[in-house]
Structure 1
Amino acid sequence: MKLESGGFYVYGASHYGQALLRYLEKIDLLPLAILDRAPRFDSYCGVPVEVFGDQEFATDLPVLVTILGFAGVTESIEAKGFTNIVETLDVFAAFPESLTNLNECGVLWMQAPASSQVNVSKCEQLAPLWADATSKQLFDKIVRYRSNPSAEDYALPEQYEMYFPPQVKGLYDYPQLNVLDVGIYDGDTFAGFYQRYGERIEKYTGVEICVSNVEKLKARLKSMSLPEDFIAVERVAVGLPANAALVVNENASASTVEVVFDEQVDSEHTVEAADLGELMNRVQCNILKMDIEGADYDALVQAQHYISANEPTLALSLYHRPQDLWEIPLLIENFAPGKYDFYLRQEGHWYLETQFYAVPKSL
């Protein structure tokens, strides 16, 4: 790819667009402008950010796309008259060093320096525990990508509905399902369970800290012609330290949470702490699905006894913190040595939505 400064565009001003611009600035190769449908700033690295709307652009120039996972991006650029469109994966291959910047952009697993994104000894402990070739190959690819990011080691997401991988032996294989969905959000995963196993769902319990999401869940149940009490919803926070609570400030664009200790806070915004192990024991779940933005490991520590004694199926996230990749599976192996088959699947772009499935060998 032959480019000249001022002779191309970058499309997308989010995390990878910014990482790419920082690298291009370093090699003195900057675009004419950054194009974005809803820019949050006017310029970046000295390059103007222009709204990709009704303006006229130099459509004979190349456009480097930095967006994945959204339909219609290429088509919208073509509709403006551009003919030389460089897709994101080709940008990876042309500028692999930009991925190093992305890996330290501060988002979720990318919040740590590259030097702490892989624990070699822990990864070596975990490597033999994966139950199938897909998991082993993906795990190796993730470790390589974190150590030395490249286009070759970027894993494309699986093409199935999240949390329902078709080739995981015994997953959710119970005569009756009793699901504890921690981080139920608006019930999107519940809808997947109901579509597949509706007649076998004996009980479904959801944990959610945002009132707005609970309202969306109720609306979803209504649209499915199900009563509100089909799901027992608990507004609690698991994985918190002792004497802590969570203050939730809900916002349509970005809700924020803050852990507080022994403080008097407006009860409308305060979510009390709960022990995940006690909650699992109370509802007697045989499936735990959990996605709670980084508190996952601490919550699982609370559930040691229940997991060890009952061996529920686990569907867990491994992308919130760098160390979750190895710490969470090794924690489960410590709780129930040799009792689970471990599976790893990539269900989203940017190595987000990396999902871990622990299926009891007894199934």
Structure 2
Amino acid sequence: MQMNTPIPNNKTFIYGASYLGLALAQLFDQQNTHYEFIDAYAPRDRVKGKYMYRPDEIKAEDKAHATVYIAVLLPPVKSGVDEALFEQLSQMGYTHLVSPYQTMSEFPETLSIISHDGLLWRNPHDENFVNQQGFETVLSFFNDERSKALLTNIANFRQSFAVEDYIKPDYCEEYFPPEIDLCTGLDDLHILDCGAFDGDTIKQFFAVFKDKIKSYAAFEPELDNYHALTAAASKIKNDFPQANINCFPMGVGNINKVLRFTSGDGAASHISDEGETEIFVTKLDDTHANSTVNLIKIDVEGADLDVITGATELIKQQRPNIAVSCYHQPSHIWEIPQLIKAINPDYQLFLRQHGHYGFELTLYCIDKSRFNYSN
């Protein structure tokens, strides 16, 4: 269907209205450059006052003469996704396509906008993105050269925000990088999933570990996500009746208390003093003091440090393998490894980046009694 809204003669399109797309739009607004948004799947809601066109709604002559800046760098993070999108748009008649990396090179200011203006960490940050002492301390914690190189690259990018320092994802599935086995040294798995979202991780874990999972406790405070989580868990229970699966509509932190919460942001719902709802938050040291736990996954949109602090005794006593997100706040990249090592100096630490813009930056912690890594 062709749209009646006319497209200007200087035809510039931004494909995608997420992080890179919004940063590019902000830059174009500053430069008084006219542009329109197109996206095959994004909601029809207006973005920055502009209509979201579908690629097939643009007239053939406009496709042939338009410049399309492809600005989608979010999941699915798989090798070949960019090439597939190029092919699809080319077949539709678009002739001048600019890749995300070419877009960054042409407009390097976009990377600084993403990092400083609240797009990446949800709130503007004026702080130094690199604590040199913190980075140097954490660098000595890592057991493999790949983790050390990644941390060094992160420090370089945060100081330059240059496209040549931009870190591409490793295209591995989060929690399952081939060289890091979270169930290493474990016959049975007893898992705590902190920030279970809509059941995406419980599906992943049972698909990979199957009958090895004997118990699974999932925490998710956002009610829409929680309902999706319980539906997913119910189906899994039918396939794996031996597993004791429990879902809890609450958050996890370093205190047992009712806190304000910003909901409705999908995976990005989070604890906030300005939140419009209230949730109950609990400590793992209290909920699982007398339970067997040997694997903890933590992805709680900024409260990750609090979860670890609230599980200090559990971690000391049971030494579970841990996968924890390190990208929700700039300081988490050096604070979380230091906290983990302070609780258990025998953890071996590995760092992997599974997403764009530093998203899905995950710290893997495995006690050396289960696995002693050597280069």
Q: Which runs of 5+ in 2 are unaligned?
A: 1-8, 371-375
- Residue of structure 2 aligned with 1:124, choices 118, 136, 156: 136
Deviations along 1:164-184, one digit per CA (max 9) or x if unpaired, are: 111126654301111111112
Secondary structure in structure 2 of the residue aligned to 1:281: coil
In the alignment, what sits opposite 1:30?
Answer: 33
CA contact (8 A) 2:114 2:120 kept: no
Between the aligned partners of 1:357 and 1:274, the Cα distance in structure 2 is 23
Q: Which residue matches 1:200? A: 212
Q: Residue 10 of structure 2 aligns to a residue in which SS?
A: coil
1:98-113 to 2 correspondence within 5 Å? 98-109=110-121, 111-113=123-125
Q: Distance in 2 between matches of 1:158 and 1:85?
A: 24
* CA 123–171 in structure 1, closer or farther in 2 if over 3 Å, else same: farther
- Structure 2 counterpart of 1:351, from 342, 352, 358: 358
- TM-superposed CA distance for 1:91, in Å, is 1.2
Taking every aligned residue pair, what percent have the same amino acid on both sides?
27
The residue aligned with 1:233 is 247
Deviations 1:234-257 (A, max 9, x none): 222221656433457558798676
SS at match of 2:348: strand
For 1:165-213, what per-residue CA distance to the aligned partner results, in whole angstroms no more than 9, with x for missing partners? 1112665430111111111223222222222322222211111213333
Distance 1:307 1:134 in 2: 26
Per-residue deviation, 1:311: 1.6
Match of 1:10? 14
Mapping of residues 151-162 of structure 1, within 5 Å: 151-162=163-174
- Residue 115 of structure 1 and its aligned partner are, at CA, apart by 4.1
Deviates more, 1:68-77 or 1:14-23: 68-77
How many Å apart are 1:137 and its aligned residue? Answer: 1.2
CA 1:38/1:355 → structure 2, altered by over 3 Å: closer, same or farther? same
**C-alpha distance in structure 2 between counterparts of 1:289 and 1:321, whole Å:** 18
Segment drifting more, 7-16 vs 307-316: 7-16
Q: After TM superposition, list the pairs within 5 Å mapping 1:263-282 onto structure 2.
A: 270-282=278-290
User: What is the RMSD of the two structures over their aligned residues, measured on CA atoms?
Assistant: 3.1
Seen in structure 2, the aligned counterparts of structure 1 residues 329 and 255 have a Cα distance that, compared at 3 Å, is closer
Structure 1 CA distance for aligned equivalents of residues 190 and 334 of structure 2: 27
Moved more, 226-235 or 269-278: 226-235
Equivalent position SS for 2:246: strand
Which amino acid in 1 is paired with 2:294? Answer: N
Matches within 5 A, 1:324-339: 324-337=332-345, 339=346
One of 62, 65, 83 as aligned partner of 2:67: 62
- Residue 38 of structure 1 contacts residue 51 of structure 1 at CA under 8 Å; is this kept in 2? no
Q: What amino acid is aligned across from residue 353 of structure 2 in structure 1?
A: Q
Measure, in 1, the Cα distance between the counterparts of 2:155 and 2:248: 37
How do 1:78-117 and structure 2 match up within 5 A?
78-109=90-121, 111-113=123-125, 115-117=127-129
Secondary structure of 1:113's aligned partner: coil
State the Cα distance separating 1:23 from its structure 2 match. Answer: 3.4
CA distance in 1, matches of 2:229, 2:256: 29
Q: CA deviation at 1:325?
A: 1.0
Shift of 1:346: 0.8
- One-letter amino acid of the counterpart of residue 320, structure 2: P
Q: CA deviation at 1:31?
A: 4.5
Q: Is this contact kept in 2: 1:7–1:61, CA < 8 A?
A: yes
Tell me if the contact between 1:103 and 1:110 (Cα under 8 Å) persists in the aligned partners: no
Structure 1 CA distance, aligned partners of 2:334 and 2:183? Answer: 21
What is the rounded CA distance, in whole Å, between the counterparts of 1:98 and 1:170 in structure 2? Answer: 36
Provide the residue aligned with 1:51 in structure 2: 53
Indicate conservation of the 8 Å contact 2:117/2:125, yes or no: no
Paired residues of 2:70 and 2:100 also in contact (CA < 8 A)? yes
Q: Is the CA contact (8 Å cut-off) linking 1:20 and 1:98 kept in structure 2?
A: yes
Separation (CA, whole Å) in 2 of partners of 1:206 and 1:42: 35
Q: Tell me the distance in 2 between the aligned counterparts of 1:42 and 1:179.
A: 40
> Does the residue aligned with 2:140 lie in a helix, a strand or coil?
helix
User: Cα distance 1:14–1:307, how it changes in 2: closer, same or farther (>3 A)?
Assistant: same
Task: Evaluate the alpha carbon distance shift between residue 119 and residue 109 of structure 1 in structure 2; reply closer, same or farther with a 3 A threshold.
Answer: farther
- Give SS of 1:152's match: helix
Q: Aligned partners of 1:247, 1:22: CA distance in 2, in Å?
A: 29
Deviates most, 64-73 or 287-296: 64-73
Q: How many residues matched?
A: 348
Match of 2:296 in 1: 288
Point out where structure 1 has 5 or more consecutive residues left out of the alignment.
Answer: none
CA drift of 1:94 comes to: 2.4
- Give the CA deviation at 1:219: 2.9
Could you tell me whether the CA contact under 8 Å between 2:296 and 2:322 is conserved in 1? yes
Distance 1:15 1:105 in 2: 11
Q: For the Cα contact (< 8 Å) 1:248–1:271, is it kept in 2?
A: no
Q: 1:302 to 1:65 in 2, by over 3 A?
A: same
Secondary structure of 2:64 counterpart: coil
Secondary structure at the counterpart of residue 333 of structure 1? helix
Please give the secondary structure, in 2, of the residue aligned with 1:59: helix
